[in-house]
Structure 1
Amino acid sequence: MQSAATCALLSTNNATQHKEIPTLNVTKCTCNINNSKLVEFPKAWNEFRMNQQFCDGILRSSDGKTVYIHRVIVSLVSSYFKDLFTNSLKGGETEMNEVNLDIPGHILDLILDYAYTGHCNVTLENVEHLLPIAYQYEILGVLHQSSQYLFEKLKPENCIGIFKFARRYFCCHLEDRGLKYICHNFKQIFIQSPEFKDLSAEELECILRHDELNVHREELVFEAVMKWIEADLQVRKQYLRTLIHCVRYGLTNMNFFRHVIRNKLILADPELQSSLYSSSVLAELNSGQSCNRVLNNAISRPRIPYEIIFACGGWNCKRDTRFIETYDIRADKWFIHTKTDVIEPRQTHGLCALNNLIYVIGGYDDREYLNTVCCYNPITQKWKYCACMHRPRGGVSVCSQDGKIYALGGYNGRIGMNSAERYSPNLNQWEMIPSMHCVRSEASAASLNGKIYVVGGLNEHEGLRSAEVFDPQTNEWTFIHSMATVRSGLSLVAYNNYLYALGGYNGDTILKSGERYNPTRSSEWQQISEMHHRRNNFAAVVLEGMIFVAGGAKYLQPIAVVEYYDVDSDEWHKASSMNMKRDGLSACVLAGLPNAKAYSQASRIQEASSDNSTH
């Protein structure tokens, strides 16, 4: 439960926030420590302070507290005090060594803690007072620490208050982070946050026009506009003419557009109707084109996705591949990135994301089974080798849990294995863990509620339908209910307390069936709707609450088709196919990349625009 001080901080009516948001241009971020000179804090400084040795100044707080200081030390961390003390020595004035401050004593103590040690104890109870005072007295180090503290406390229910707070005190870095957080979590904030109605028209427009606004349909933008206006209809209806154009109508359909036009507020404004009926809007709505000219138009340009699928490796009929291919769900398009090749081509490898890094593990490269591990940094777009596994593993099952990566079973070129190992990125080290009960290659693994599950696969004689779970706390494997169907080359996905086992090969045919299991209920596996396409050795991930499956093999031929499963409706839907047919590929999802644009349609639009401008 939040404290009263926190609630006060996050309320837009907070008494300490007595100024309107500044409109003047700010060229320097007050909360960015890089804008202040580096200061070293020798231990002796604080000892002098505590013992009141060599003090040459006195500060008095607003509540009568007297503190003895060293003027030169305080001046090092505050431009205000530097000017105050040095200017008093000019022009023959009497030297100033006593200052009365409009600062409460407990806040003054925190500021002096920073001045003498480089650190102050920022808390929920003091940050609403500490940051404004640090801003007033130009103590950039305290501003930075307060801003960092607020950033770490960002939540859907308080992020708008923190965003507005940052704007008020020119904390541009925190403001930008707050804006990104609002955009990335917009649906939850729009539906649940009581602060949503407190946004100004300018702030709401900034959010709704943002390319990184995370909305799976533009109809939500229209709903947000109307909800905000209706919160204070008489005052806010004047802003409808501007805000209504934040919706990217070129990403909707005519049925929705007719719904917009029939809104009572829009019907009452002929000029607004005219602007919506403009030829450019209707042209975009009626156009099925996807050329660069259309995509460059603001009302039809896809937004940058918050979550992105990264698919890697696999076999394409001729050779093992080394390309990364990404999926932009906003544009429903796949993009090959030839400049980010894997260090070596491979198939039937494992792949997982951890701390926004992608780890490619084991596999087969047309010559041998691999124990090598590669790590891709999507921000720097660079690959590096990590420590090798203890065993070569093709057809390996991989997942992550509690900051560690698990590699289970696989085939080493001679035999199938039941051995398992675990990788610690911080140590760059693999360790063996207890072996599974069954030999498994071409199985699949997933983590759910702190445990590691592995299902299906092949032993040395036949396909399997058995399943087992590893508990890192007890360091033991335990059998769970077997699947209803034998499956090798399947994909296992964990979502919303269920395990979903999809596709694979049952010894006779490639499957398009799927089943799910809830470990907490200890029930049998339940059948779900069948995929549109049979497939094994394919990739499966959860993206925006839906299960996507991509590529794989169908009757010994690689495929590029992609589809996704809506858990709520128990239905499969088609998505755009990959650019390359691939069997034995792997995929993962990364969220919130600062350079997400580089992996999206927006990047291709920008590149095309640059090419056109040079011709």
Structure 2
Amino acid sequence: MLNMSVDEMDISQTPSFRNDFKQDLKFDASERTYFKNSYHSVQLLEDLQSLRKNEVLCDIRLETDDGTIVFGHKNVLVAASPYFGAMFSAFNESNKNLVNMREINSDVLQLIVDYIYTGEILVTNENVQVLLPAANLLQLDYVKSACAEFLRTQLNPSNCIGIKVFADLYNCTDLMSSSNAFINKQFLEVVKSDEFLCLSYENVIQIISSDDLAVPFEEKVFEAVINWVKYDLNQRKDFLPNLMEHVRLPLIASKPDVLKNIVEEPLLKNNPECNKFVLEALNFHLQKSIQHFIISHSIRCKPRQFDSLKKIILTFNWSDTMPKCYTEWYDPATNLRRSAPEMKDSRRKSGVGVIRDQFVFVLGGVNSSSAQSVNMLDVSSPSPCWVPMVNMLVSRAYLGVGVLNDCIYAVGGFHGFVSVNSVEVFDSSIQKWRMVTSMTTNRSLLGVGVLNDHLYAIGGFDGYDSLKSVECYDPLLDTWTPVAELSVCRNSVSIGVLDGVIYAIGGIDGSVNLKSVEAYRPSDGVWSFIADMHLCRNNSGGVVSLDGLLYVIGGESEESVFDTIEVYNPKTNTWSLRKLSRNNNNVADIKVHCGVVVNRPPYLTN
């Protein structure tokens, strides 16, 4: 290119400006097209970065305490960072071309200014602890998020507590949540770290009070507390009573050898305030050995809640050739079935309910000997077994069961050969049954759903016809109220509840087995059809919600459904069909009829 000044250039002499150019170009006046250069912003940043590195048109110098100077353009810095925006518009620095950046070291400042001009940032183990605070100061959200994501990938038992404290300091909420979840999941490894032993008393309580600790045995929490106290005994021994308040000793009481070691622990033995927690555990164990079933309102008697991976399904299986009811643990993640405590009789056509994902109740059945009886299984017991509970007031088969506020409702069913509308409730606090207001309609073979602290009695058989009516029970008012009817009649219907929606699944319309499914939202007040299942199913008492999905287990129909599960995904409105793995029993014709979701028993390994 010729070297000349702007004044020396005469653009009128270029071809576009020559007066003798007479060609007329004809256009359609309505035609116009917008063009966008997708590389424009990238090229612009590259050119700006080049100008900055060559110190061209730079109007600001940023100086760190070690004397390093980083050049830049005020308008670029202002566009990228609210911090610089305030600095160069409202503060003393607005008219300066040299600003001291005392809060940030030179390496990090260079990284950040490079990021502003390139959109790229390098995060390492060495710089993340200074880069994140700097990004927080300069209000560079992307860099801050990048640092937090980097730290999340580096979580391990030896650093997760420190990362959690760091995340809390700079209000990285997602990283805080990830750190908490990691600590809960890896608790047994975390408590071995120096970070745990050096924690403050308040932070120890924050960890051990969590319901989500993944501890198979509560004594591990006790051991962690004792180790923390002994690490600096003189300074920490006075904290022990407050720490023991969050150790759930009653859950250990069923293990005499473990409890003996706790009773003999000198730190507890010599502390009267701690003795009350030991006595509470002993009394709880004594009471439980007599009554089998206790729901205490004390947090120390409440099992820790494992994450969804710790849930499992308890299935109820029958054989045409054997009189017993076989139960199995079914893990949907692995499709494995393992033997669970069996019941002595068949309990066919009974109702099943679960309190707190721990206490499984089986109510009634078709046999005269079991029509009023109730059996209970505590899945948290080290050696779970079915134990008899207080009989119902009315014999019932083909009944509906709902659990609400730690109370079990036995709804309708056949009393002998007659459909009834009576309802009774088992109050777990006093372990007694009492009658409540009857439904407006006789119903057997019904489904029961629980939503928003109300019971819904859905469909069923009144002794003459299949029903599509639905009624709702308010326990505070002790009243039943009719609500929107189903789209079709359904007896032997299965009910699932997930994310505020009630699902009526399959059943029988008169004499026809159904694969159709309809959903009900109380706010909408109508039932509407969703995607059909693959197979017709009725009498499937096993509909459970787990990990945002509905599982429909077993059931009956003219097709073979006993060894299949259908899984509904509400996000895609689709059903998938799964084949159950073979069971471990020697009974050839065993069939899965229903199931309930429960906490994984502590003795059951993954």
Q: TM-score, normalised on structure 1? A: 0.49
Q: TM-score, normalised on structure 2? A: 0.50
Q: Which has the larger radius of gyration?
A: 2
